[in-house]
Structure 1
């Protein structure tokens, strides 16, 4: 939506409360997963290199390399963010009133009348 300002230039408004697009969200989660897996790969390589040189640092990198896949999967599967402007509760649709069944006729009323 554009609005003309006093000097005649068009002013553009942004939608700040809207969610990210689904493709953009998936791309961001994939990027975070690849970054954390690259860090894990680096930690495993450092573990192998430092094992005989600095054992304490190698153990820390080994623990980091073992723990990062779990964290990466949890972050990747976290799902979409909540939009701040949208309601968070579900409002059920109003229910329609039920039509009551027709009253049953007594046997005396159900006999057809003679119209002669």
Structure 2
């Protein structure tokens, strides 16, 4: 037990810039993506009816059938963490708050 605590303390601290996005914002973003995909699916379905016979009809049917699968996969993917924002070390010429 003591070694587990020691290893947790020795780990690098979590930076706010590498934290995941707000859960509410992430859910809203995922819902918008899903809604957009379902709108495209509906347009594919209606387009397949309107177009008539031909290769375009089969492409639109293919889109209408497989877009729900893609939409669910995309909607279930969480927001990526933003990497690359490093902390500035003190004394590198940047202004600091006074005490």
TM-score (ref. length: structure 1):
0.53
* Aligned CA-pair RMSD: 2.2
String of CA shifts for 1:52-97, please: whole Å, max 9, x gaps. Answer: 4xx1111110101111000000011112323426xxxxxxxxxxxx
2:48 equivalent in structure 1: 47
CA pair 17-82 structure 1, distance change in 2 beyond 3 A: closer
Give the number of the structure with larger relative contact order, counting CA–CA contacts within 8 Å between residues 6 or more apart. 2
Deviation at 1:42, TM superposition (A): 0.2
Equivalent runs, 1:33-112 vs 2, <5 Å? 33-52=34-53, 55-84=54-83
State whether residues 19 and 81 of structure 2, in contact with CA within 8 Å, keep that contact through their aligned partners in structure 1. Answer: no
1:89 equivalent in structure 2: none
State whether residues 34 and 74 of structure 2, in contact with CA within 8 Å, keep that contact through their aligned partners in structure 1. Answer: yes
1:27 equivalent in structure 2: 28
Higher Rg of the two aligned structures = 1
| Alignment gaps of 5+ in structure 1 | 1-14, 86-116
CA distance in 1, matches of 2:60, 2:17: 41
TM-score (ref. length: structure 2):
0.62
String of CA shifts for 1:19-41, please: whole Å, max 9, x gaps. Answer: 32110000000000000000000
| Alignment gaps of 5+ in structure 2 | 1-15, 85-99
The count of residues paired between Structure 1 and Structure 2 equals 70
State whether residues 48 and 61 of structure 2, in contact with CA within 8 Å, keep that contact through their aligned partners in structure 1. Answer: yes
Of Structure 1 and Structure 2, the greater helix share is in: 2
CA distance in 2, matches of 1:51, 1:77: 34
